[in-house]
């Protein structure tokens, strides 16, 4: 198994507001297209599962496929209601997704557009 390991890429961090906390999750890259379901590291046997990164979503317009630095929209859109003029922490409106027009926030993993990206 060690022969198939290309490299250890980075540790996953979780955001809590402006703070980022390191987790115990490490991204490993394997040369084999179908790695084992477990690996041994020293005296430990660890579960391995595929890492699927979140699709890129712009925090300015809330659309998928680009980041806020490349966004062409002139104003920031609320992730919850899809309207401009305020940010999510000040939003009291009903949820409305700008990507599918559904009744959920643009950041929702239940959005039918989410897995397409």
pLDDT tens figures, 42-82: 898 988 888 777 889 999 999 999 999 999 999 999 999 99
pLDDT value for 2: 47
* Range in 10-24, 31-45, 63-77 with the lowest mean pLDDT: 10-24
Class of domain 54-117: few secondary structures
Which of the two residues, 97 and 53, has the higher pLDDT score? 97
Average pLDDT of the residues of the chain: 82
Average of pLDDT values for 7-34? 68
d(CA 111, CA 54): 13
Q: List the domain boundaries for the chain.
A: 2-47, 54-117
Max intra-chain CA distance, the chain: 55
pLDDT value for 19: 74
């Amino acid at each position: 198994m060690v022969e198939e390991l290309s490299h250890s890429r980075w540790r996953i961090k979780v955001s809590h507001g402006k703070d980022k906390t390191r987790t115990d999750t490490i991204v490993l890259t394997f040369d084999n297209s179908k790695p084992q379901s477990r690996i041994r590291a020293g005296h430990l046997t660890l579960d391995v599962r595929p890492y699927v990164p979140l699709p890129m979503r712009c925090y300015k317009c809330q659309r998928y496929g680009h980041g806020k630095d490349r966004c062409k929209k002139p104003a920031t859109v609320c992730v919850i209601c899809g309207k401009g003029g305020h940010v999510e922490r000040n939003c009291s409106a009903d949820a409305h997704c700008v990507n599918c027009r559904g009744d959920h926030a643009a950041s929702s993993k239940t959005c039918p557009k989410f897995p397409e990206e």
